[in-house]
Amino acid sequence: LWLALEQAGVRPVGFNAIDIARVEAGLIVFEYEYEPGQRTPFDLGLDRMVSFAPEIDYVGKTALQQIASSPPRRLKTLRLQAGDLPEAGSEVTRDGQVVGTLTSPTDSPRFGPIALAILDASAAANDTVVAVGGSDATVADLSIFDPDKRKPRA
């Protein structure tokens, strides 16, 4: 089977290729972007997944209702300057103040160095300039490629 696939032009890909596609599409990974007990669905852009219907009850519903209208953090993509990729967990700053945490840096063949980051809402607007590891980065849409998430469904 493998030889037939190879002869048909199929080429193997490893985790790095899959991770690049994941970051470009803005897909969340458990314990990278989502840290249980530390992040809310709103931090990750999953607002549409949260129900406040009266007939649905769950732990944390009241707390989520309190932040729903103005979530304090957002998951966004950062377009980084060329050079060494900062490490996951690096601080994101703006005007010298910490405004977020880098979660998933990668070097994309399409976009160059990019990363996902959890940012304070005050720094999460597109085109905002922030700094990571002493270099500037620009905030972009969460999904800079494949916003309809067609690649994971392929």
Q: What is the mean pLDDT of residues 18-39?
A: 87
Q: What is the pLDDT of residues 114-127, one digit of tens each?
A: 999 999 999 999 99
Q: Please check the confidence at residue 29 and state whether its pLDDT lies above 70.
A: yes
Query: In sequence order, which residues have a C-beta less than 8 Å from that of residue 40 and are 6 or more positions away?
Result: 64, 67, 71, 73
Q: Please check the confidence at residue 151 and state whether its pLDDT lies above 80.
A: no
Q: Which of 91, 89, 147, 137 is nearest to 114 (CA)?
A: 137
**Dihedral (CA of 106, 86, 93, 63) sign:** positive
pTM exceeds cut of 0.75: yes
Q: Please check the confidence at residue 154 and state whether its pLDDT lies above 90.
A: no
Q: Please check the confidence at residue 133 and state whether its pLDDT lies above 90.
A: no
Give pLDDT, residue 52.
95
Q: What is the mean pLDDT of residues 68-97?
A: 94
CA distances from 99 to 42, 85, 132, 139 (A): 16, 19, 10, 12
Query: In sequence order, which residues have a C-beta less than 8 Å from that of residue 54 and are 6 or more positions away?
Result: none
Give pLDDT, residue 91.
97
| Residue 121: Cβ-neighbour burial (10 angstroms; 0-12, 13-18, 19+) | middle
Q: If you write DSSP's letter for every residue of 44-73 in order, what string do you get? A: TT-GGG----TT---TTHHHHHHHTTS-SE
pLDDT-based confidence at residue 152 (cuts at 50, 70, 90)? low
Beta 97-108 vs 112-120: how paired, if at all? antiparallel
Q: What is the pLDDT of residues 49-58, one digit of tens each?
A: 999 999 999 9
